[in-house]
Structure formats: structure tokens, C-alpha cells
Structure 1
Amino acid sequence: MTTAPTRIPAAGKARRTPRTTIPVTALLVTVALYFLVPVYYVVVAATKTTSDLFATNGFALAPTFALWDNLALVFTYNGGIFVRWLLNSLLYAGVGAALATYFAAAGGYALAKYEFRGKRLVFGTVLGGVLVPGTALALPMFLLFSSLGLANTHLSVLIPSLVSPFGLLLCRIYAETSVDTSVIEAGRIDGAGELGIFHKLGLRTMLPALVTVFLFQLVFIWNNFFLPLVMLADESLYPVTLGLHNWSSQVDRLPEFYRLTTGGALVSVVPLIGAMIVLQKYWRGGLSDGAVKG
């Protein structure tokens, strides 16, 4: 009489039981609600008139659906100044994040793949830059840009956004582990220059890290409030965050600014959501490549 062989679970494979899946699922649902409930509130608030905003439940739709009227007011108020703020934010965040990602990739690649004098000092300085809050540098930068005649210009917000110590640190770690030195040597043997190797091999291999740095920097610049507040005095140069703050500070004087603020807040999150949806496929591709290589 033969006995059936005992099945041994694969190594490293956790056994799923209700005792482990239920708490994990509950935790994930709680975290998801923590992030989604504010977005839901913004969407609902943007559909209400000023009177309904205070007379109805904050998480329930009002009898009067005023979303389109609110959005029309947002885009036409004061000669369409909100459109100008939106374009300014796209300039600061889009161009700033793209260039900051490129510079971080170049610096991280150099720190990971080249040996030069002062390398440890440079890396230590970068680590120190990660620990310094941006608000502590805003006033010194304002004095610097004022002396250069660049205060109250687009460049006063755009130039500081080009530096991302965290992005450089992340790119350095990723390049060190993903960019094969033998591939670089092969490129040199084939006659490719260092910049050509970096652009054709390094950037392609580092793509998942670059997307991560770009999204982090995009969100950081888009939500940045203190730096534009210090640097800018001209309302036409404001980003969306500073413009919405300007509107919300006037709600006690004119109640219509409640509709402007809620409608503008809804529009302001749409570009970030769109960027996350468009770029998430590159994350998935990078994770799949890593799984295959492993």
C-alpha cells in the first residue's frame, strides 16, 4: 500500500490564511480611503453653489448640480487669470521636473560608474542636501535672485526646481545596480563616446527610476507654495497653488470665491492624476524587467 506524497510548500511562498489576509486587506482599504476621501470631497464640493456648500452634507451631492457653472466661473473670472496660473504651473512643474530628472540621472550615473577625486565628498554633500528643507533655503535664494535681478520672474521659481538631491541619490543607487559596467565597456570598444553611452544605454536602463524621480519632482513643484510666495509679486506669474490661496483669502469679502476655490482645486488635481495614469505603465515595465532578470 502506497501513501500519497506529502506536498511541501514552495520556499519563500507565504501561506495565505484569513488570519493574515483580513488585517492586510483592512489596512490597504484604510490607506486607500485616507487618500481617496479628500479627492471625493473636492469633487462633491465643486458641484455645489455657495449656499449648498454650507447647507448640505459635505459628502453628499446637493439638489442643484452647479459643476459646469463653477468651472465656467473659474476659467472666465478676472479675464481668465486661472488659465494663466495653470500654464505657469505646467511650465514650472513640467519643464522643471523634466530637467531635474535629466540632471539627477546624469549626476547619479556619474557617481555610480566613474571614479574621480572627491567622489565621496560630492555624495556626502548630496546626502546633506536631502536633509535640508526647502523652506530654509527660500529666503537666501530670494536674496540671491534679487541681487541678480531675477526675482519676480519665471526663472526665480524654475531654476531652484532643477535641483533634486533625492532624485540624484535614487538615480545613483539605481545606476549602480542596473547599468552593467561590461555594457559600458562594450560601448567604448565600439567607439561610442561617454555622452552617447549615457544617452543610449544609461538612460534606457534607468527608465523606471527616471519615471519615479519625474513624478516625485512633478508633484513637489506643482504643490510648492512657499517658494512662489517668497519669489513672486506679480499675480500673472502665480502658479495654481498660490492663485488658489489668493482666492481663498478673499472668501470673507466675496462669497463667490468659495465656488472659485472649490472649482479651481478640482481642476488643479486633474494634471497630476493624468500624469500618474499615463506614466504608471513604465513602472510596471520596469518591475517586470527586474523580475525577469532576477
Structure 2
Amino acid sequence: MTAIGTVTERSTRTSGKGRSTLLPTVVLVLGATYCVVPTLWILVAATKSPAELFSTATYLPSFGGGLVQNITDLSTYHGGIFWRWMLNSFLYAFVGGVLASAISAATGYALAKYSFRGRTVLFNVILSGVLLPQIVLAIPQYLLLSHVGLTDSYLGVILPQLFNPYGIYLSRIYAAAAVEDSILEAGRIDGASEFRLFWSVGLKLMVPGLITVFLLQFIVIWNNFLLPFVMVATDDKFPLTVGLYSLLRHGAAEASLYSLVITGTLLSVVPVIALFLSLQRYWRIDLVSGAVK
């Protein structure tokens, strides 16, 4: 009887545990479906010619060479301006991501490793910037930069995105955990300056965290629409977001341009995926313990 009771109790626990994990699993599946379905639609729609886009089943791809033709038409549209938009987006996102990561690293390292008056207040003020929607800042930033003549320029898009409160927060947390005080003290005993400690020790130990900061900032700038829409008025300085939007507006009068917009949207995702896959190898969990050893 004891053995039977034990088996019954175990089966009850197992069934209860199965029911308790069912709801989270269903929620995760629904969330994944919500994210995957639009991407799947773009992938399928990009394979269709303008004539097939509205006349065939939504999620049935076309194998008539529509994707190649769409890419060719997109590449020749207005002298290949799409690839200029792609280059602009990469310039904005890469330069802005690198500089923002450097500023976040220096600020986070200083807040984590140095004690000075007002450090907590300063960190709280910076952290409050995370709660401030970027859409609120677009118009003030435009007015400020217009006074110094930086609107409709590459700097006008890059400069407002160099200060990343969330990146500073992540850098401070990672610096506090990754950069051991014992390593810094050993460097000071050897006569290293504070800048040398930050450059040669702190940055190297913070690389996995900074890769995350760079990737997040790159994606934010790559997907940013409002700031370049407000700042830039010349077509050849548009990023992909604004360029595809202008192409979509023209598509209201010329339906064939919808296929080009969809194909351009598909191509715009490729660099982000490639960047993510190429940078994930830099994420290491045991980097600090290896350095201490």
C-alpha cells in the first residue's frame, strides 16, 4: 500500500507540474507566433511580382523569379538610391553604436569604480532618462541642432543618439561585476594611470557587456524613424526607415512600388541578423574568473 501511495503521489505531482507549465508554454508559443508571422509574410510577399502580390494566396510563395526581379527593380529605382539608404543606415547605426558604447563604457566604469560626491544622484538622473520616450526629445533636439546648422546632415542624426541611458546602466552593472577591484589595485601598485587601467583592463573585461550595449544601440538607431525624419530633408541622406516610408507614399499612386517596399523591408533585416550572429560569439560568462585566475 505504501508503494502504491507513493506512486500515486508522484503521478499527482507530475500532472500538477505539467498543468502549471502549460500556460507559460502556450503564452510563449503565442508570443513567438506573433513575432514570426509578420516576418514570414514579408518573406513570402517578397517572392511575388507586383501582379501576383494582390492576386495570390497570402502565405503561398511564388516560384516564378519574383524575388530576383524585385531586387533588380529595387536596385535600379532612382539610380539605386535604395543602396544609398542602406549605406546611410549602416553609417548612422555603426558610428552611433560605437561612439555610444564608448561613452556608456566610460560613464558606467566611472560610476561603478569611483566614489565621488553626487554619484548616486547622477546615476539616478541618468537612469531616469530610460523612462523618457525618445519621441518627446525629437523636436527639442531638432530646434537645438538647427541653431548650430546641423540639420539635414549626418551629424544631426548621429549626435542626439550618442547618449544612451540604458547603455550606461548596463555598463555600470557589468563593470561592477566584471572588473575586480583587486585587479585595479594591482595595476595601481605597478604604477598604471587611471586611464591606462580603464583602457587596458576595464575595457577588455567589459567587452561582452559592451557588445550587448553596441548591439542594442545599433538596432535602435537602425530602426529609428522619427529623428531622421525630422532632421533630414535630402533624399540621399535618408536612412532605410525614412527612405522606405517615402517609397511607400509614392506607392499610393503607383501600386507596383509596394513590391519594392516589401523587398526593401526584407533586405533591411539581413544586416541586423548577420550582425547578431557574428557578435554572439563574443558573449562569455566566465571571462572575469579566467582573468582573475
TM-score (norm 1): 0.88
Deviation at 1:157, TM superposition (A): 0.2
Q: Which residue of structure 1 lines up, in the alignment, with residue 255 of structure 2?
A: 255
Deviation at 1:18, TM superposition (A): 4.1
**2:256, 2:101 → 1: CA distance?**
40
**2:17, 2:121 → 1: CA distance?**
50
Instruction: Quickly say closer, same or farther: Cα 1:179–1:52, change in 2 above 3 A.
Output: same
Deviation at 1:22, TM superposition (A): 5.0
Q: Structure 2: any 5+ residue segments left out of the alignment?
A: 1-13
Residues 97, 162 of structure 2: 8 Å contact kept: yes
Deviation digits for residues 174-228 of structure 1 (CA, Å, limit 9, x no counterpart): 1112211111111111121212211221112222211111111011000000001
Deviation at 1:269, TM superposition (A): 0.5
Q: Which residue of structure 1 lines up, in the alignment, with residue 82 of structure 2?
A: 82
**1:192, 1:279 → 2: CA distance?**
31
Instruction: Quickly say closer, same or farther: Cα 1:54–1:216, change in 2 above 3 A.
Output: same
**1:194, 1:75 → 2: CA distance?**
50
Residues 85, 243 of structure 2: 8 Å contact kept: yes
Deviation at 1:290, TM superposition (A): 7.3
1:1-294 equivalence runs, <5 A: 18-19=18-19, 22-62=22-62, 64-283=64-283, 285-286=284-285, 288-289=286-287
Q: Which letter does structure 1 place at the counterpart of 2:202?
A: G
Deviation at 1:56, TM superposition (A): 1.4
**1:66, 1:18 → 2: CA distance?**
46
Deviation at 1:35, TM superposition (A): 2.0
Instruction: Quickly say closer, same or farther: Cα 1:162–1:136, change in 2 above 3 A.
Output: same
Q: Which residue of structure 2 lines up, in the alignment, with residue 8 of structure 1?
A: none
**2:234, 2:72 → 1: CA distance?**
24
3-state DSSP class of the match of 1:250? helix
Deviation at 1:20, TM superposition (A): 5.3
Deviation at 1:37, TM superposition (A): 1.9
Q: How many residues align?
A: 278
Deviation at 1:39, TM superposition (A): 1.5
**1:163, 1:275 → 2: CA distance?**
22
Residues 205, 287 of structure 2: 8 Å contact kept: no
Deviation at 1:101, TM superposition (A): 0.7
**1:35, 1:252 → 2: CA distance?**
27
Q: Structure 1: any 5+ residue segments left out of the alignment?
A: 1-13
Deviation at 1:63, TM superposition (A): 5.3
Identity of aligned residues (%): 44
Task: Report the RMSD for the aligned CA atoms in angstroms.
Answer: 2.2
Deviation at 1:291, TM superposition (A): 9.2
Residues 101, 210 of structure 2: 8 Å contact kept: yes
Q: Which letter does structure 2 place at the counterpart of 1:65?
A: G
